[in-house]
């Protein structure tokens, strides 16, 4: 049995995870953590870890960067593993996750869907083969409630492609401000916001007279919830260190 603390339990993702876990025999939500302490499921919700019981294996965090420090301090002091899914973290916060991974197992991914992580391995392969003759552009689309742009996933895809390329690319987010041709060295990253789009990421390799597009569409938030529960089970009992979806896909 994997005992989870669900941080951000009363948010959209927290509610999807609560529903999925309620049908599982091998995962249990020990308690929820949220500033909104409404009890909606059969677990208690706390806004202060000091009031909560002990004995969890792992924290799954889908909350807000504002409670990042509290979560990291809790995991360090109680030696609890962490699945960090909240996006929009600063570079300093990402560095703090790396430091935490010296003490406990930390699973971090800006996108918990297995499909997006497969897309990343495909676009890395494409980028290494096509880099000399194709222009690379990323278009991401999300619902009209999303605050950060471009998405953490679009940046994760760009960073993974950049790792593959011989020359470090320049990320270009806005072609409106400057009137000049695209250079070979760019990755264009565009954000579209509207309606209830759950999440689309389209990587375009545009060459002479041919275009390759590799695209992932999330049809519901369940794909992220399923991935994060898989991640929680995966890191439970693992030694301290940094883990991501590649570790799960390699199994």
Ligand X SMILES: NC(=O)c1ccc[n+]([C@@H]2O[C@H](COP(=O)([O-])OP(=O)(O)OC[C@H]3O[C@@H](n4cnc5c(N)ncnc54)[C@H](O)[C@@H]3O)[C@@H](O)[C@H]2O)c1
| Neighbouring C-alpha atoms within 13 Å toward the C-beta of 40 | 19
CB-based contacts of 137, cutoff 8 Å, min separation 6: 187, 188, 189, 190, 203, 204, 206
Q: Which stretch binds ligand X (CB under 6 A): 90-98, 109-117, 127-135, 232-240?
A: 109-117
Tell me the sheet residues that pair with 189: 138
| CA pair distance 186, 193, nearest whole angstrom | 23
Which of 64, 146, 221, 238 is an active site residue? Answer: 146
Question: Closer to ligand X at the Cβ: 8 or 150?
Answer: 8
Give SS3 for 196.
Answer: coil
**Known active-site residue 64:** no
79 is catalytic: no
Q: Which of residues 20-79 bind ligand X (CB under 6 A)?
A: 34-36, 62-64, 66-67
By CB under 6 A, the residues from 186 to 245 that bind ligand X are: 224
| Residue 23: Cβ within 10 Å count | 7
Best CA proximity match to 123, nearest among 87, 166, 167, 162: 162
Instruction: Rule CB under 6 A: say whether 161 interacts with ligand X.
Output: no
* 110-139 positions binding ligand X, by CB under 6 A: 110-112
Q: Does 249 bind ligand X (CB under 6 A)?
A: no
Considering the complex, what minimum distance in angstroms separates the CB of residue 135 from ligand X? 28
Closest CA to 137 of 172, 166, 165: 172
> Which CB, 34 or 57, lies closer to ligand X?
34
Nearer to ligand X, 46 or 171 (CB): 46
Q: What DSSP element (H or E) covers 18?
A: helix 12-22
Query: At its nearest, how many Å lie between ligand X and the CB of residue 151?
Result: 8
Catalytic, out of 141, 142, 201, 216: 142
Task: Catalogue the active-site residues.
Answer: 142, 146
Judged by the rule CB under 6 A, the positions of this chain that interact with ligand X are 8, 10-14, 34-36, 62-64, 66-67, 85-88, 109-112, 224
């Amino acid at each position: 049995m994997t005992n989870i603390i669900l941080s951000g339990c009363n948010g959209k993702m927290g509610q999807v995870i609560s529903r999925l876990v309620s049908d599982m025999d091998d995962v249990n939500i020990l308690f929820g953590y949220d500033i909104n302490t409404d009890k909606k499921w059969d677990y208690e919700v706390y806004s202060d870890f000091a009031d909560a019981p002990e004995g969890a294996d792992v924290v799954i965090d889908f909350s807000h960067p504002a409670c990042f420090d509290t979560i990291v301090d809790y995991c360090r002091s109680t030696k609890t593993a962490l699945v960090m899914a909240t996006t929009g973290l600063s570079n300093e916060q990402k560095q703090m996750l790396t430091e935490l991974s010296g003490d406990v197992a930390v699973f971090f991914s800006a996108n918990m869907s297995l499909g997006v992580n497969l897309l990343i391995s495909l676009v890395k392969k494409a980028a290494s083969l096509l880099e000399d003759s194709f222009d690379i552009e990323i278009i991401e689309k999300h619902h009209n409630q999303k605050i950060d742009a471009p998405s953490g996933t679009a940046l994760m895809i760009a960073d993974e492609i950049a790792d593959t390329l011989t020359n470090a690319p320049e990320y270009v987010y806005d072609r409106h401000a400057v009137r000049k041709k695209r250079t070979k060295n760019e990755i264009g990253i565009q954000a579209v916001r509207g309606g209830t789009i759950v999440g689309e990421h389209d990587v375009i390799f545009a060459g002479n007279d041919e275009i390759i597009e590799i695209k992932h569409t999330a049809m519901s938030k369940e794909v992220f919830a399923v991935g994060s529960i898989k991640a929680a089970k995966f890191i439970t009992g693992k030694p301290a260190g940094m883990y991501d979806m590649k570790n799960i896909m390699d199994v």
